[in-house]
């Protein structure tokens, strides 16, 4: 284990994902969402396949015992991606990022409903608090005199995108029972690329040279970020590295201000902090529970002294 390296990889992945989202926001004014989904997925395959080839894991990536499961995961994931990209076309980068933070909390509820996982009380409490944060974040976009068509569409898509992202997470949990991580990542990128390509039937935009460069960059950055994210969990437990994914809020605030002169409403920031706090609380409690369980197991296996 190397916690420092795992944390650094997680922060790097989060930073690249945020740059990718900023580039999506830039091209979304002229390039259809389906075309962006295709670029994000197709060009992400190149760094992924390069890494798999370097590790001699190509065969592990294409081998699957559950192809239907990958199709379900791909369908849900592509829907989440499309909704998230649509949100970026309508609301500020930081707003979309903050609303997207609800996905891990929604996963808790979906895991209980769909996977029949036992969910501890503190997790349900965090979900309820997080939902309160969602209401606060959505308020500037859907009420209090701030609502516009763009805001309503963008905020709704961001929230629905978080729901579908949570659904994809649940499906990934199912797939891990039979599939390798390489296969899960590879088949999603491939299926998403095919789904994005299919939208060409509804008309694509012929990109300019700059737009073409940005579309390629979106895919490559997304692919590298996915690799860094996966690698971060090789070096440290999820409870150590996962909290640093919330650094995306900082990156999105900085990039949103520098690139788009965006300053999110205070209610969005407040709601985002509540959701982040709820997520961090769950991670902290999970870590405490895991440590307590490890101590209990260690105590149970410690040989007792000689009887007297």
Report the pLDDT value the prediction gives residue 251, as an integer from 0 to 100.
94
More confident residue, 299 or 67: 67
Report the pLDDT value the prediction gives residue 303, as an integer from 0 to 100.
58
Report the pLDDT value the prediction gives residue 308, as an integer from 0 to 100.
34
Report the pLDDT value the prediction gives residue 145, as an integer from 0 to 100.
47
| Mean per-residue pLDDT, 265-293 | 86
Share of the chain above pLDDT 70, in %: 94
Question: pLDDT of 62-83, one tens digit each?
Answer: 999 899 999 999 999 999 999 9
Q: What are the structure tokens assigned to 145, written together?
A: 């005199």
Convert the chain into a string of H (helix), E (strand) and C (coil): CCHHHHHHHHHHHHHHHHHHHHHHHHHCCCCCHHHHHHHHHHCCHHHHHHHHHHCCCHHHHHCCCCHHHHHHHHHHHHHHHHHHHHHHCCCCHHHHHHHHCCHHHHHHHHHHHHCCCCCCHHHHHHHHHHHHHHHHHHHHHHCCCCCCHHHHHHHHHHHHHHHHHHHHHHHHHHHCCCCCHHHHHHHHHHHHHHHHHHHHHHCCCCCCHHHHHHHHHHHHHHHHHHHHHHHHHHHCCHHHHHHHHHHHHHHHHHHHHHHHCCCCCHHHHHHHHHHHHHHHHHHHHHHHHHHHHHHHHHHHHCCCCCCC
**Residue 274 burial (C-beta neighbours within 10 Å; 0-12, 13-18, 19+):** buried
Report the pLDDT value the prediction gives residue 97, as an integer from 0 to 100.
94
Report the pLDDT value the prediction gives residue 113, as an integer from 0 to 100.
84
| Mean per-residue pLDDT, 231-237 | 82
On whether the pTM is more than 0.95, the answer is no
Instruction: Give the domain range for residue 149.
Output: 3-287
Residue 216 lies in a domain: yes
Residue 189 banded pLDDT, cuts 50, 70, 90: very high
Q: Give the closest residue to 277 by CA, choosing from 139, 136, 156, 112.
A: 136
More confident residue, 135 or 158: 158
Cβ neighbour number for residue 110 with a 10 Å cutoff: 18
Report the pLDDT value the prediction gives residue 86, as an integer from 0 to 100.
96
Residue 300 banded pLDDT, cuts 50, 70, 90: low
The pLDDT mean for the chain works out to: 88
Report the pLDDT value the prediction gives residue 11, as an integer from 0 to 100.
93
Q: Is residue 289 over pLDDT 80?
A: no
Residue 10 lies in a domain: yes
Question: pLDDT of 109-149, one tens digit each?
Answer: 888 888 887 778 888 888 899 889 888 888 887 765 445 77
CA distances from 44 to 20, 87, 108, 115, 151 (A): 11, 21, 28, 30, 30
Residue 299 lies in a domain: no
CA distances from 92 to 17, 102, 197, 243, 268 (A): 16, 17, 27, 23, 11
Q: What are the structure tokens assigned to 211, written together?
A: 């737009």
Question: pLDDT of 94-107, one tens digit each?
Answer: 999 999 999 988 88
- Specify the long-range contacts of residues 118-121, CB closer than 8 Å, at least 24 apart: 120/285, 120/289
Q: What are the structure tokens assigned to 279, written together?
A: 């997520």
Residue 307 lies in a domain: no
**Count of structural domains within the chain:** 1
Q: What are phi and psi of 43, to 5 degrees?
A: -75, -15
Residue 120 lies in a domain: yes
Q: Is residue 202 over pLDDT 50?
A: yes
Residue 102 lies in a domain: yes
CA distance 181 to 197: 24
Residue 240 banded pLDDT, cuts 50, 70, 90: confident
Residue 308 lies in a domain: no
Residue 135 lies in a domain: yes
Report the pLDDT value the prediction gives residue 237, as an integer from 0 to 100.
74
How does 278-296 read in b/e, with b if 16+ C-beta sit within 10 Å?
Answer: bbebbbebbbeeeeeeeee
């Amino acid at each position: 284990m190397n916690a420092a390296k795992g944390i650094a990889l997680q922060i790097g992945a989060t930073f690249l994902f945020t740059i990718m989202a900023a580039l999506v926001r830039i091209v979304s004014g002229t390039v259809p969402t389906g075309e962006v989904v295709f670029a994000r997925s197709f060009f992400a395959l190149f760094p992924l396949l390069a890494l798999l080839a370097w590790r001699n894991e190509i065969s592990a990536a294409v081998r699957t015992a559950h192809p239907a499961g990958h199709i379900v995961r791909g369908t849900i994931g592509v829907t989440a991606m499309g909704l998230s990209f649509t949100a970026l076309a309508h609301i500020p980068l930081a707003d979309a990022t903050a609303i997207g933070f609800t996905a891990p909390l929604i996963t808790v509820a979906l895991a209980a409903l769909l996977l029949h996982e036992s969910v501890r009380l503190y997790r349900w409490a965090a979900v309820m608090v997080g939902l309160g944060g969602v209401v606060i974040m959505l308020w500037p976009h859907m009420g209090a005199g701030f609502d516009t068509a763009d805001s309503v569409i963008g905020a709704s898509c961001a929230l629905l995108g978080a729901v579908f992202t949570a659904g994809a997470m649940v499906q990934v949990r199912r797939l891990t029972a039979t599939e390798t991580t390489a296969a899960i990542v590879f088949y999603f990128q491939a299926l998403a690329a095919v789904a994005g390509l299919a939208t060409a039937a509804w008309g694509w935009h012929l990109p300019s040279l700059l737009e073409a460069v940005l579309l390629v960059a979106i895919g490559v950055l997304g692919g590298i970020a996915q690799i860094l994210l996966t690698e971060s969990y090789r070096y440290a437990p999820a409870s150590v590295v996962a909290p640093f994914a919330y650094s995306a809020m900082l990156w999105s605030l900085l990039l949103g201000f520098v690139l788009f002169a965006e300053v999110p409403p205070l209610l969005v920031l407040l709601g985002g902090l509540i959701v982040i706090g709820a997520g961090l609380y769950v991670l902290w409690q999970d870590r405490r529970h895991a440590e307590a369980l490890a101590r209990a197991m260690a105590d149970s296996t410690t040989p007792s002294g000689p009887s007297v």
